[in-house]
Amino acid sequence: MSAEDEFERLWRRIKEVEKSIRDYVEEEFRKTLEDIRSELRSIDRMLMPSWSHEGYLRPLYTVKDVGNAYVIYIDLPKVDEGSIDVRFKDNLVMIRAKLKEGLTLSNWSSRGSEVRFYEYREVIELPIRIDPKKVRVNVKRGRVQIIVPKE
């Protein structure tokens, strides 16, 4: 093997190591950023009331990273299952669903007792762009499962 070949081989190896270090740092940076964003989202969700004077409720939801996909579970008690409308835009999942009947908080709380609620509304942010053709949506007993493949 000539000195030039040897140098070429060494240079390729350096490039490979450099790429793997860069990939590792980028991946760690992406994960940290995702954790911070998720923490900020959860603080935001905690401080936001779960209902609006405009007559809608915000449902409970959870997002799980299951390796090859993100799975979103949304709890929609008293929902009219036929009215569940799930839409996707970039990395956002937008959900709207009507309640089986209008609902007030008057029996439970003095806060918001004057408001009547007719539907659920929520926008959920995922860390990836969503391909709507690959998404699967399942509904069971007022709970929704949305499977968003990563690729």
CB atoms within 10 A of CB 111: 10
For another protein, the closer CB: 3 or 108:
108
d(CA 75, CA 141): 9
Minimum CB–partner distance for residue 35 and another protein (Å): 12
Q: Which three-class secondary structure state does DSSP give residue 127?
A: coil
Tell me the two tokens of residue 91.
């990395």
- CB 137, CB 72: distance < 8 Å: no
From 21-29, 43-51, 81-89, 129-137, give the range in contact with another protein by CB under 8 A.
Answer: 43-51
Minimum CB–partner distance for residue 143 and another protein (Å): 6
d(CA 45, CA 64): 17
- Interaction between residue 57 and another protein (CB under 8 A): yes
- Interaction between residue 103 and another protein (CB under 8 A): yes
From 15-23, 27-35, 128-136, 139-147, give the range in contact with another protein by CB under 8 A.
Answer: 139-147
Q: Distances in Å between the alpha carbon of 150 and those of 19, 68, 94?
A: 23, 6, 18
Q: Which of residues 2-41 bind another protein (CB under 8 A)?
A: none
Q: Which residues bind another protein (CB under 8 A)?
A: 42, 45-46, 50, 57, 59-60, 62, 73, 75, 77-78, 103, 108, 138, 140, 142-143, 145
